[in-house]
Amino acid sequence: MKREAEIRAICVAAATPLREAIQAMDRGGKGIVLVVGADGRLQGTVTDGDVRRGILRGVRLENPVQQIVCAHPTTVAHGSQREDLLRLMQQHGVEHLPVVDHAGRVAGLELMSELLARPREKETPVAIVAGGLGTRLRPLTDDTPKALLKVGDRPLLEVLIDQLVGYGFRNVVLIVHHQAEMIERQLGNGQALGARIQYVRERKPLGTVGGLRLAAPHVTAPCLVVNGDLLTRVNFEHLLNFHERQQFDLTMAVKEYDVQVPYGVVQLSDGLVCHLEEKPSQRLFVNAGIYVLDPSLISLIPEDEPYDMTQLIQAALVERRRVASFPIHEYWLDIGQSDDYEKAQTRVKSWDRRPVPSQ
């Protein structure tokens, strides 16, 4: 059971905007918020899965969290035994059990991840694409590969691998090209990070996924593919579970992105104005640079030619393969320009070394 202050931090009112509830979820690091009334009684729960499903069906971040709440969650009483808790979690397919008192007031939270104490090591390989030139970040990348630029006190690539290891992903394949020797010297075999790193060197730049063809001997099961210039708190375990449960061929993580049009938008019909909207905002999903793919797709990648993930996705769609989206609400930043790098410096200072994984 968690300390009182930690529980209060993940409690929100039903009228709380979804955006603020997500922020509370991220700060709490438990993948859940508890929706409570003014009297402290539990009214429901919202998990990151509820958030993803809500976003996909059109719930906006400004809407009240009550629109996606699970109003009848499974709960337990204080003092329940570990074996009973795990059995109940397995029976109901949940990873969190709110603890309530006799009046239904929140008294704590039980987490499967903490009951199991440590993450199960996964055989799933992770291919990290880290061969880019980083031209948009010059002069920072004149003498340092982008993946080794420091965020906080550690290279970006170490932060990413640390996140993966925290979820049990230890088998890492690093696809390198530009200043590859520096990356290999810095990370070695990965033992210091709790990982097992193998390297695949591109003779020439092969795009965002062309190097994966070279890594094919290391990919014999569904594989995570991650761009090496990302700073994120995405739950990699949930992404893999989503992919495997639905038996998709390729799953792409996507991030919601709002585009503000700086002008009044006019709709016309036969030359006549029929509607005018002042500075509308358009809601889009952007490619987050994180994927899970079936190894059979690697055969679609041409040998020794530049090839991007967008081309592979198009090829998969042509073959009528099952391609899915996985919305992420956690923190995500593509460090492509100097402004992004400065944002990363500020953000990473508040992070723990590793996430608390869920099973």
Per DSSP, the residues of 14-36 read TTSBHHHHHHHHHHHTSSEEEEE
Whole-number pLDDT of residue 28: 84
Run means of pLDDT, 10 residues per run, the chain, 359 residues: 73 92 88 91 91 89 91 84 80 88 87 71 87 68 75 84 88 88 88 88 86 84 89 89 91 86 81 80 84 92 89 94 91 74 69 49
Cβ neighbours for 230, distance < 8 A, ≥ 6 positions apart: 160, 288, 289, 290, 332, 333, 334, 335
Answer for the pair 163, 355: CB distance below 8 angstroms, yes or no. yes
Query: What counts of helices (H) and strands (E) characterise the chain?
Result: 10, 19
Find out if CATH 3.10.580.10 is the number for domain 4-116. Answer: yes
- In terms of DSSP H, where are the helices of 81-155? 82-92, 112-116
In 52-194, DSSP assigns E strands to 76-77, 96-100, 106-111, 126-129, 150-151, 154-155, 171-176
Element (H, E) at 11: strand 11-12
281-293 and 230-232 as β-strands: parallel, antiparallel, unpaired? unpaired
Whole-number pLDDT of residue 8: 86
Nearest of 313, 305, 261 to residue 287 by alpha carbon:
313
Single-letter code of the amino acid located at 183: I
Whole-number pLDDT of residue 2: 44
Q: Domain-by-domain residue ranges, the chain?
A: 4-116, 126-348
Nearest of 244, 241, 215, 243 to residue 112 by alpha carbon:
241
Q: CB pairs under 8 A, 24+ apart, for 62-67?
A: 62/17, 62/18, 62/19, 63/17, 63/18, 64/14, 64/15, 64/16, 64/17, 64/18, 65/12, 65/14, 65/15, 65/16, 65/17, 65/18, 65/20, 65/21, 65/33, 65/35, 66/14, 66/15, 66/35, 67/18
Whole-number pLDDT of residue 250: 95
Answer for the pair 99, 108: CB distance below 8 angstroms, yes or no. yes
The verdict on pTM exceeding 0.85 is no
- Per the listing, tokens 């797709």 go with 297
76-77 and 42-47 as β-strands: parallel, antiparallel, unpaired? unpaired
Q: Which residues of 98-130 are buried (b: 16+ CB within 10 A; e: fewer)?
A: bbbeeebebbbbbbbbeeeeebeebebbbbbbb
316: three-class secondary structure by DSSP: helix
Topology of domain 126-348, CATH: Spore Coat Polysaccharide Biosynthesis Protein SpsA; Chain A (3.90.550)
346: its two tokens: 């500020």
11-12 and 32-36 as β-strands: parallel, antiparallel, unpaired? parallel
For 161-182, the DSSP string reads HHHHHHTTB-EEEEEE-TTHHH
Interatomic CA distance for residues 51 and 30, integer angstroms:
14
What torsion do the CA atoms of 10, 16, 17, 19 make, to the nearest 10 degrees? -10
Across-strand partners of 42? 36
Whole-number pLDDT of residue 357: 45
Element (H, E) at 251: strand 250-260
Interatomic CA distance for residues 193 and 126, integer angstroms:
14
